Amino acid sequence: MYDTLKERFLKYVKIETRSDEESQTIPTTQTQVEFAKMLKAELEEIGLENVFINDACFVNGTLPSNTDKKVPVIGFIAHMDTADFNAVNVNPQIIENYDGKDIVLNKDLGITMYVNDFPNLKNYIGKTLITTDGTTLLGADDKSGIVEIIEAVKYLKNHPEIKHGEVKVAFGPDEEIGRGADNFNVKEFNADFAYTMDGGPVGELEYESFNAAEATFKIKGKSVHPGTAKGKMVNANTIAVELAALFPADEVPEKTEGYEGFYLLQKMKTTVEDAEMSYILRDHDKEKFLAKKKFAEDAAKKINEKYGKGTVEVTLKDEYYNMGEIIKNHMNIVEIAREAMENLGIKPIIKAIRGGTDGSKISFMGLPTPNIFAGGENFHGKYEFVALESMIKATDTIIEIIKLNEKKG
């Protein structure tokens, strides 16, 4: 049905497109620019109209309406970049008719994906799996989403008997570092609602995300020779440890699930003279999110009360908000996706994202954008994989959503 899906995916994942948190350019890496140019050419080859790359490196294209009915303009969005894990020389491995056993990713290096460690593998017995060779990530996050969108609009273009409204597509940069959607142009995209194809296993349908902020603590110490330090030294290292100890021990990612929020100490650089600690704060509930930010401020205040004013400075930066606050007023678009999956025999798994997507920001820009499965699992590392059948189901879902949108008018 989608004769180029597999080959397109294998081609895309071999192209290195990591984003770079240290870079201040838009996009943050030139490899994303080159990938965008390739995608633009392929959208033009398919026959989409108004295909262009904007100043923020979003590849845009339009599948014109072929129905006489006036229906909402629908959009589909995916991201081009991959996470901060080795993505050079991706060498995808294909396992047909998977038998449910441990998978040797790299015999020479002794790298195996064990079923005991990844019991989700049991869900793919009999499927065609695409894995890494154990030395890189795969890039199904989110090149599977890009492939699915392209294959869907290509199929509709080649089957004009399927009536549909206008469909917009966009592929953007720098999602993995949380910046790409900052520059998404909702007015230019000009859709009534959209979906990101950026979820995990088949059936995922997400319209709630975390509220997210970063708290950066800068600690000023005083370095003195340890032999004469009594009453003089202020050790930023130990103050950092003391500050970290103030945070709730059980409100961390490894001890939370579902709607439970957390604090994560993600970076720490310390010396006697200076220390810097970076926490991310996450919660679905807005009041609890605000309380977490206040906790961070109060922690700095407590340290300053003990060691003196200016010992610790904390800077809080909001990153994105729970898109459910917007989408709850547009639940019809969630229902369309749910109905589409059910029509295809897919059981919808409606749950909150323990993270964010481009849709988290785009929804607050005025374009309600839930997230739909793209099929991959074990993202951001060497154990990442995707089933070919999962990508086919995601492509089917896109087409069914578009058909339902036209039917409902």
Q: How far apart are CA 148 and CA 395, in angstroms?
A: 5
CB contact at 8 A, 117 and 86: no
What SS3 class is residue 337?
A: helix
Q: Which of 20, 130, 138 is nearest to 90 (CA)?
A: 138
81 is catalytic: yes
Three-point CA angle 241, 247, 251, nearest 5°: 130
Upstream peptide bond of 20 is cis (omega within 30 degrees of 0): no
Which phi and psi (to 5°) does residue 303 adopt? -65, -40
Q: From the candidates 16, 42, 81, 400, which is the catalytic residue? A: 81
CB contact at 8 A, 372 and 337: yes
Q: Return contacts of 285-294, CB within 8 angstroms, 24+ apart.
A: 285/211, 285/259, 285/261, 286/211, 286/321, 286/322, 286/325, 288/261, 289/211, 289/213, 289/261, 292/213, 292/261, 292/263, 293/213, 293/215
Q: How far apart are CA 95 and CA 25, in angstroms?
A: 39
55 is catalytic: no
Q: From the candidates 16, 141, 151, 175, which is the catalytic residue? A: 175
Three-point CA angle 328, 280, 193, nearest 5°: 25
Which tokens sit at 301?
């205040």
Q: Where are the alpha helices (DSSP H) in 233-357?
A: 236-245, 286-307, 324-327, 331-343
Please report how the helices 388-408 and 140-158 are oriented relative to each other, as an axis angle in degrees rounded to 10: 50
The per-residue DSSP string of 90-154 comes to ---EEESS--SS-EEEETTTTEEE-TTT-GGGGGGTTS-EEE--SSS---HHHHHHHHHHHHHHH
| Catalytic residue IDs | 81, 175
